[in-house]
Amino acid sequence: MNKKIMKNLLSFALISMGGVLLFGLQAHALDVGVDEITSQIQLGAKDPREIVARIINTAMMFLGIIAVVIILLGGFKWMTAAGNEEKVSEAQKLMGAGVIGLVIILASWGIASFVLNQLINATGN
């Protein structure tokens, strides 16, 4: 009984898939006005290199903001340490980490900008 159900189910699945494939070919012939839609939403109007450059710049901006907030947080901790050497040391470490992070972010932004500009200029655009 179980084999008969599996056989029927497999037959039904194969027939259904065959029917889908036969009718799927007609769908490719339909004109749905892709050009009008593309012109309205300006899909593909931007160069992918410019999109990548914009994404990198945005990410670096957010990372820079986070690094500055870490530096400010370290300064706030230093101000509220009330002379406690342990808290002052922790605040100095936090500020140092923020400055190092900011230097790394700025260096990576400079390298990425240089590479992307050279890539855009080298390809003739």
Per-residue H/E/C for the chain? CHHHHHHHHHHHHHHHHHHHHHHHHHHCCCCCCHHHHHHHHCCCCCCHHHHHHHHHHHHHHHHHHHHHHHHHHHHHHHHCCCCCHHHHHHHHHHHHHHHHHHHHHHHHHHHHHHHHHHHHHHCCC
- Answer whether residue 38 is part of any domain: no
86: confidence class by pLDDT, cuts 50, 70, 90: very high
Query: Domain range spanning residue 62?
Result: 46-122
Q: How many domains does the chain have?
A: 1
pLDDT digit string (tens) for 54-83? 888 899 999 999 999 999 999 999 999 988
Q: Flag whether pLDDT at 45 surpasses 60.
A: yes
- Answer whether residue 15 is part of any domain: no
- Answer whether residue 118 is part of any domain: yes
43: confidence class by pLDDT, cuts 50, 70, 90: low
Q: Flag whether pLDDT at 38 surpasses 80.
A: no
Question: Could you give the percent of the chain with pLDDT greater than 90?
Answer: 38
What mean pLDDT comes out for the span 2-27?
71
- Answer whether residue 82 is part of any domain: yes
- Answer whether residue 34 is part of any domain: no
The predicted structure's pLDDT at residue 92 = 94
- Answer whether residue 116 is part of any domain: yes
Q: Flag whether pLDDT at 121 surpasses 80.
A: yes
Calpha distance 59→35 (Å, rounded): 32
What mean pLDDT comes out for the span 26-48?
64
- Answer whether residue 80 is part of any domain: yes
